[in-house]
Amino acid sequence: MGDSKNLIDELLHGLELARQLQIYLNVSSSSNETREILIQKIISTFEKALEMVNRKRHVNMGESSKQQYPSASGTLAIRISDSPPLSCSPRSEDSDRDFNRDHNASRKRNTLPIRWTKHIRVEPGMAMEGPLDDGYSWRKYGQKDILGAMHPRGYYRCTHRNVLGCLATKQVQRSDEDPTIFEITYRGNHTCTIASNVVGPTLNNPFQTQETNIVNTNPQSLDQQKPPNEQLLNNLRTGLRVQTENLDFQNQSFVPFGNHVLESSFAENFNSPSYVSPANSGISHFSMSPTPSVFPNMASEIIPPATSAANTPTASMEFPFDQFEFDGQNFTFHNSRFFS
DNA sequence: ACAATTTGACCACT
DNA sequence: AGTGGTCAAATTGT
């Protein structure tokens, strides 16, 4: 228990430092020395936190199932807690529902295990009627007032659901604490974008085009007009903007996998010049709770200029869940194809 | 006319 | 019974 408290303290400390750094980085008069010190502190804080987690895991686990959490510069392992069964395919439930219109079966509650969240911030003062463009075409199919939430939750499915059978869906929930932040929960994989190669390795490095555009959400515009590829390319051409924001890492509403570990070399891929995910542009910003990631407090997002619509925030991450492996204990994410 | 969104109703789950 | 997720008819936009 003491360790958990310390862990939380450390992570909170990291959060605070990161916030300070964010402020400093926006103040041109601050010295490089100050930045260096802050960055060192942040790294140190997170490393300490990770050590604590590792210690705890060593105590709780036998040697055989031991998984090391990475240092800040090493391999990223995402710990995910209690899970629905992993035996089912990511889309099995949805598939049954949509293409079997037997109403008894089709109305079955979606127990889709694969889902992940993003926290997106839009510029205050801009239209924020909904999420920004994330490179995919979504059609809204519902909206619901959620108990305890100030803002309704929007339900979206892939526009190509009927034509291509793409079963990806997302839910968009505006944050109560910070109305400029949208929490987007993606469920299922885009089968339509496998063909169109939305997260293509051929796009330019988004780090080269991160300067400018402010998010300009246009709730009435349509994101259904362009194929995802073209949209993303357009986004990259016209400039992207990175926003770093604080995540509520204590939010533990998502339980996608279970007590397993997602292991991936995110960090090293982030340094790779060839890495181009229009979705997250190399900066970790998705979270899988309850312990979102080793960077629990920070979410960075590439905010593309708004080409669309309805409610989609920014370029989204296409997450190739078919590259997960589950061996009964660990959930491994093979990201070589994803990041290459 | 067609496509997208809105919204009340329905259903499954807890 | 309460809640979240989805459906589908009605409405709105292009």
Q: Where are the domains of chain A?
A: 1-58, 115-194
Rg of chain A over CA atoms, in angstroms? 20
Output the distance from A42 CA to C3 C1' rounded to whole Å.
40
Tokens representing A92? 């099995």
Output the distance from A155 CA to C14 C1' rounded to whole Å.
23
Helix H, strand E, coil C: the string for A121-167 is ECCCCCCCCCCCCCCCCEEEEEEECCCCCCCCEEEEEECCHHHHCCC
Averaged over A264-293, what is the pLDDT?
34
Q: Which of A76-80, A226-230, A249-253 has the highest mean pLDDT?
A: A226-230
Averaged over A57-81, what is the pLDDT?
37
Question: Is the minimum distance from the CB of A141 to strand B below 7 Å?
Answer: yes
**Which pLDDT does position A193 carry in this prediction?**
57
Question: Is the minimum distance from the CB of A300 to strand C below 7 Å?
Answer: no
**Which pLDDT does position A192 carry in this prediction?**
76
Averaged over A211-229, what is the pLDDT?
35
Question: Is the minimum distance from the CB of A109 to strand C below 7 Å?
Answer: yes
If we measure between CA atoms, which residue out of A255, A214, A240 comes closest to residue A117?
A255
Averaged over A279-307, what is the pLDDT?
36
For residues A317 and A277, is the Cβ–Cβ distance under 8 A? yes
Among protein residues, the one whose C-alpha sits closest to the C1' atom of B13 is A109
Question: Is the minimum distance from the CB of A101 to strand B below 7 Å?
Answer: no
Output A287 or A275, whichever has higher pLDDT.
A287
Helix (H, G, I), strand (E, B) or coil at A309: coil
Measured to protein CB atoms, the chain C nucleotides within 7 Å are 2-8, 13-14
A82-94 pLDDT, tens digit each: 333 333 333 333 3
**Which pLDDT does position A115 carry in this prediction?**
75
Among protein residues, the one whose C-alpha sits closest to the C1' atom of C4 is A146
Would you call A313 exposed, middle or buried from its count of C-beta atoms within 10 A (0-12, 13-18, 19+)? buried
Averaged over A242-270, what is the pLDDT?
33
Q: Does residue A173 register a pLDDT over 80?
A: yes
| pTM for the predicted model, two decimal places | 0.44
Question: Is the minimum distance from the CB of A144 to strand C below 7 Å?
Answer: yes
Percent of chain A with pLDDT over 90: 6
**Which pLDDT does position A116 carry in this prediction?**
80
Rounded alpha-carbon distances, angstroms, from residue A317 to A30, A35, A49, A84, A85: 33, 29, 27, 23, 24
**Which pLDDT does position A326 carry in this prediction?**
39
**Which pLDDT does position A140 carry in this prediction?**
94
**Which pLDDT does position A299 carry in this prediction?**
36
Q: Does residue A154 register a pLDDT over 60?
A: yes
A16-56 pLDDT, tens digit each: 666 666 666 655 444 555 666 666 666 666 666 656 655 55
Output the distance from A302 CA to B14 C1' rounded to whole Å.
38
Beta carbons within 10 angstroms of residue A162's beta carbon = 11
A112-127 pLDDT, tens digit each: 446 788 787 776 655 4
Q: Does residue A142 register a pLDDT over 90?
A: yes
Q: Which CATH code fits A115-194?
A: 2.20.25.80
Beta bridge partners of A154: A143, A172
Output A73 or A288, whichever has higher pLDDT.
A288
